Structure 1
Amino acid sequence: MDLHDEDGALAPRLSTARLTLRPVVPADAPAIVAALSDWEVTRWLTLVPFPYTRADADGWIGRADQSGY
């Protein structure tokens, strides 16, 4: 399994028949906002603001991109 993207950066991607785990990308923001705007999801998470906004998602994606996770 190659763990690097075309630029040589570490970009792990794990896939099964039902699930793919990959680095987050800016295009994921709407889905992240939708999921974390649901109180039944967010109430179980201690560090997630509610309501969760697009700015929250963009900030988290930016930090994840800088740190690598």
Structure 2
Amino acid sequence: MNLTAIIIVAICAGCLSSIISTLSNKKLKESNKFNQKERDDMLAQIQKMNERIETLERIVTDEKYNLNQQFADLK
């Protein structure tokens, strides 16, 4: 390899490294686009939904619910 080829490869490697660095920084900024209040609101909403799901699971797995469902099936 001559000196010109080495210089061209070094320049290309530097440019490629710069592009990769810029893209990774951009993705990092996009992943942090929710502020703390929005995150807290979403976590509170998820917690409320989990509580509702737990209540529904208790209702559906209750023996009385199953018995009522069997009566409804008989009608």
TM-score, length-scaled by structure 1: 0.24
Choose 1 or 2 for highest CA Rg: 2
Instruction: Kindly indicate whether structure 1 or structure 2 has the higher relative contact order, using CA contacts under 8 Å at least 6 residues apart.
Output: 1
User: Which structure shows the bigger proportion of residues in helix conformation?
Assistant: 2
